[in-house]
Structure 1
Amino acid sequence: MGERLVRAARDASDMPVALTGVWDPAPEAAARLATVAPEMPLLGSAAAVIAACDCLYVAAPPAAHLPLAEAALDAGRAVFLEKPLSHDTDAARRFVARAEGAGARAGVNFPMASSPAVAQIAAWRDQGLVGRPESLAISVDFAAWPRSWQRDASGWLSRRAEGGFTREVVSHFLFLTRRLLGPLALEHARASFPGGDQAETAIEARLTAGGTPVSLRGAVGETDRDDTNAWTLRGSAGAIRLRDWSIAEREAGEGWATAPDALPNERMRPLVLRGQLEKVAAMTRGEPQALATLREALEVQEIVEAILASG
């Protein structure tokens, strides 16, 4: 994800951020970054990056997120974090309370905050295509975990302590649910683990979001696709859904009608990341923007960790 954001930041001359330095403790990752952005300084430590930047972006395994974020905030920098905030919910609560109390400039990278497909879903809802929300269904499936493009990070992504698809993928749809429907409350959950320290292979959960019933399921090995997902909201007047990350659809008769400007995720991603970076620039300047807040990310993390603890 860090490499994707680096590419997004340098792919357009009018991008609102400039790359002032990067550090990665893995030599192979640093070498890839040097290829992606050869003009970007490769610095010798996280402290050097913090000293060189206005806003620190942290793309690392979850255990590293809060120490780096705290160091950046202590230095007066803004912070843009990958999710989850942490694998330790108590530590995340303490961090959020401190950051909010200090009025910190901080946001979390839930890209759906800048998704045109999500904006379309929200517009349809606001136009009355759903009516009174009655139920939400979330489903995610993977051929294998980690996904093919994440295999280099399987050392932690495949482990129960910090990885798993619930933290990495389900959290995005819980953020979307929280933002569009309201506060989340977990009623029941069951997570399945294969044994040892391996990450989950299946989850099921019942929640409410702003009072709307939510069903959630996810599994590894039940599709031949890298990943496939759907977020489907039904109500008194109809249904809308977000499919495969970037396809907005509304119910039409016995089928679904796709938004006319829908794009597959690989074509939508540059638009989304540009939107995120524009919001990062605004956050760093202290201007209003719509990035996921620390509070939203904490609420999502609390649900995710409760689901995983059920296994």
Structure 2
Amino acid sequence: MHPTPAPLALGIIGAGIMGERMLNAVLGQDGAPVRVAAIWDPSPAALARIAAAFPDVPRVADAAAVVAASECVYVASPPASHLGHARAALAAGRSVFCEKPLAVDLTEARDFVARAGGRGAVNFPFASSLGVAALSQWIAEGAVGAPRRLTIEVAFARWPRPWQADAARWLDAPQEGGFTREVVSHFLFLSRRLLGPLHDLTARAEFPEAGRSERAVAAEFRAGDVPVVLRGRVGDTAQDDHNTWTLNGEAGTVRLRDWAIAERRRPDGGFEAAPDAVPNERARPIALRRQLEGVVRMTRGEPHHLATLAEALEVQEIVEAIVTRGDAGR
């Protein structure tokens, strides 16, 4: 028998919402494929919170110490800092698992992707989603037939969402934040992964409040050969957020609802969920554990299912094109 490989040493830069989710994903499972080698955040308060919740996790003095302790660095800091940390990790021979977007400057993002090679990936959890797996299987089995139209709809009671209040400074800024970058990007990745390259964009964005992120977007483009209509707005729902990704075809319709629920349209016009569908609160940690398995494979140079740097850049190109269509109204 071959010995079980030692868990991968994962370092975390950023102790906010995403960094804490990653900690929970690693520490909340037996036999995890990774271990937390170090965590750092420039905020003493954030590190104090981590110390209280996860006293056994090594906290270090700076980002360089995270890199030194790790085989792979998870970059979960605000977007403007992503590329600096990612470059430092790659220069030290580590792999990088980065939150999206890659950067706030597209020229820098393009240059980074051109030079990075294959030791990097971006955390789009739809790559590991059980709901997306159900959609993929239905599509492969012919439930949709020839695709005719994709509709993406996102709506928020307010932005940022209440659980993001601690990060509102950058999440509601037009340079780094907004729901198009934070939420719509996931559905653009899903469209790219299932249907093909994103192209032929026309879009508009509304920035009615100076110094704040967009409050509405409308766009049309293609994913492969499939026409796509995107609509997003703040204030159109009482829910923190509500979203649907709906693919219509000549043989039927499937959709992903509220991040996790895969559904098929019945003959009576209603939707029926997949038998194993679970709400996002239960689906999210499952997807993140599967993401970590991909992180191990990526770091070891093996084939993986994670979002590649090239895919993430393509998504970011579309995202930035959408929000800059409303630039005059900022």
Question: So what's the TM-score if we normalise by structure 2?
Answer: 0.92
1:294 aligns with 2:309: yes
Q: How far 1:281 moved relative to its partner?
A: 1.2
Q: In the alignment, what sits opposite 2:6?
A: none
Deviations 1:154-195 (A, max 9, x none): 010010010000000000000000000000014310000023
Tell me the amino acid that sits aligned with residue 112 of structure 1.
F
Alpha-carbon separation, structure 1, partners of 2:49 and 2:21: 12
Q: Within 5 A, what are the aligned runs for 1:69-218?
A: 69-100=86-117, 104-218=118-232
Determine the structure 1 residue equivalent to 2:320. Answer: 305
The SS at the match of 2:191 is helix
Q: Which amino acid aligns with 1:70?
A: R
**How many Å separate the matches in 1 of 2:270 and 2:183?**
26
2:299 aligned with 1:284:
yes
CA distance in structure 2 between the partners assigned to 1:176 and 1:138 by the alignment? 11
The count of corresponding residues between Structure 1 and Structure 2 is: 308
Cα distance in 1 for partners of 2:321, 2:52 equals 40
The SS at the match of 1:189 is strand
Q: 1:123 to 1:212 in 2, by over 3 A?
A: same
Q: Is the contact made by 1:136 and 1:231 (CA closer than 8 Å) also made in structure 2?
A: yes
Runs of 4+ residues over 4 Å off in structure 1: none
State the shift of 1:288 in Å: 1.1
Q: Deviations over 1:251-291 (max 9, x none)?
A: 10111111011000001111111001111111111111100
Matched, 1:16 2:33: yes
Q: CA separation in 1, counterparts of 2:209 and 2:239? A: 24
Deviation at 1:127, TM superposition (A): 0.2
The answer as to whether partners of 1:192 and 1:202 remain within 8 angstroms in 2 is yes
Residue in 2 that maps onto 1:219 = 233
Cα distance in 1 for partners of 2:106, 2:52 equals 36
TM superposition shift of 1:217: 0.5
Q: Distance in 1 between matches of 2:200 and 2:287?
A: 29
Segments of 5+ residues of structure 2 without an aligned counterpart are 1-17
Shift in Å at residue 28 of structure 1? 1.7
Partner of 1:6: 23
Find 2:287's aligned residue among 267, 272, 281.
272
Q: Which amino acid aligns with 1:307?
A: I
| Residue matched to 1:67 | 84
Code of the aligned partner of 1:287: E
| Aligned equivalents of 2:35, 2:300: Cα separation in 1 | 14
Report the Cα distance in structure 2 between the residues aligned to 1:178 and 1:36, rounded to whole angstroms. Answer: 37
Q: TM-score, normalised by structure 1?
A: 0.98
CA distance in 2, matches of 1:76, 1:205: 40
Structure 1, residues 216-267: CA drift from partner, whole Å, max 9, x if none? 0100011110000000000010000000000000010111111011000001
Identical aligned residues as a percent: 58
Q: Is the 8 A contact 1:83 1:109 kept in 2?
A: yes
Structure 2 CA distance, aligned partners of 1:141 and 1:28? Answer: 32
